[in-house]
Structures are given as C-alpha cells and as structure tokens.
Amino acid sequence: MKQYLTELPGYAARCAQRLDLFVGIVAGVVFFLIAVACGLGRAVIIPVTTAIVILAILEAGYGVYREERTMRAEREKHVRVQARLGALSTNTPDPGPDKVSVSAHVFWEIWVDQDVSTDALALNLIYVYDNPWWQFWKRSRVPEMGIPPKGEDTTQYRTRIRADNSQPFRDSAVFEYVSDRREEGDPHWLLELVLVTGVPAGRHCIPVFIDYDELHSRGANPPL
C-alpha cells in the first residue's frame, strides 16, 4: 500500500498527459454547450456530461495501466529468478511466551540476458487469514514484513551479474523473524522472495512454496 501511494502521483500525472483524456473532456464540454443551446434539461445535461468525463478518466487510467504492464514486462524479461525453500522452522527454539518465530533458508537462481545490478532483497512474510465468506470487508492477505537476510540490518543487496558469466547466478540466505503472537484470528504464513534490481530497474516477486510433507521427509538439508 505504501508503495502504491508513493507511485500514485506519477500515475495521475501520466493520465493527465494522455490524449484520450483530453479528447474525452473536450467531448464533454462540447456536449454540454450543445445541450444548453438546444434547451435540454439539467436532468439530461449533467448526467450525460458527467458520464462522458468519467469514461474518459477510466479510459486514460486503463491506458496507463496497460503501458505500465508493457514497460514492466519489457524491463523484467531481462531477469528471470527462481527460488526454493531449503529449510523451515517455526517457533524453534522457543521464542518465549506470546511470541512466534520463523526461520527460513531460501535458495535462489538468477538468469540474465544483459548485465544486471541488484539493489535490494528481502523475504516478504504475508499473514493469510481464513475469513468467513460473509466478512468480505476484511483483508485475507496482510503483508507483515520484508525480512532482510540473517546478519544484515537492511535489505540492501548489491551485486553485479554479468551476462557473459556462467548462469544461473546462485545464492542463498537464512531469514529469521520473531514477533508478538497475534490475538485476532489464527493466520498462516506465505513467503515471497523479492529481488529489486537497479539496472535495469525492476521488482521481481517469487512465491516460495512451503511443502511441509517434502520438508519433513528430507530433513533440514536441500537435495544436491
């Protein structure tokens, strides 16, 4: 949500610069003037003029959305990331009364078709609530925190991956998190590895699937 609010002024500025928004507003003004000149009542003029302007705004917004998707796909096609879970433990060792903890060892691989500079990396912890269907106003997915790698104070992750090096580029880290136990509901967790690149600019979100049966069957070490 914070990132969305930060980017909202930029999206609004791009909408304001679109030709379809300008044409829609002009069409609304022209209709208003013609309707007044023809003596149409306010019951017709105001709703129709408002509808024309709203449609123009919606079209401009959708156009910016399509442009953003195209631009993001163009940026991110140069970088492909896969992640898998190596080990997972919860509440071990005991974090204390009214506390919960998670420790995840995550492995990732990165393929590039041009030189890439990374900027940040974190493991997003997402709380998922199984709300009854009728509580549609409650959020079922609540992003809790971006966890930096163990031993790091920030999510800064600066490395350069050259396209002419052997691929994939491999790395791993342990992510640890301790928090107060939540009183409301009984959420379960989703994990998402997030890699932010500076050149080319991009944000890559990779779900880290938790297969508890597979983890229990092989112990703490990933297969070679």
Final residue of a structural domain among 27, 54, 76: 76
> Is the same domain home to 155 and 186?
yes
Final residue of a structural domain among 49, 76, 103: 76
> Is the same domain home to 92 and 154?
yes
Dump pLDDT digits (tens) for 165-193: 888 999 999 999 888 776 665 667 789 99
Per mean pLDDT, which range of 3-7, 70-74, 107-111 is the poorest?
Answer: 3-7
> Is the same domain home to 135 and 185?
yes
CATH code assigned at 169: 2.60.40
Final residue of a structural domain among 60, 76, 92: 76
Count structural domains, the chain. 2
Confidence at residue 91, expressed as pLDDT on a 0 to 100 scale: 78
Residue 224 lies in a domain: no
> Is the same domain home to 66 and 103?
no
Q: Which domain holds residue 154?
A: 79-218
Q: How confident is the prediction for the chain on average, in pLDDT? A: 80
Q: How many CB atoms lie within 10 A of CB 78?
A: 17
> Is the same domain home to 89 and 24?
no
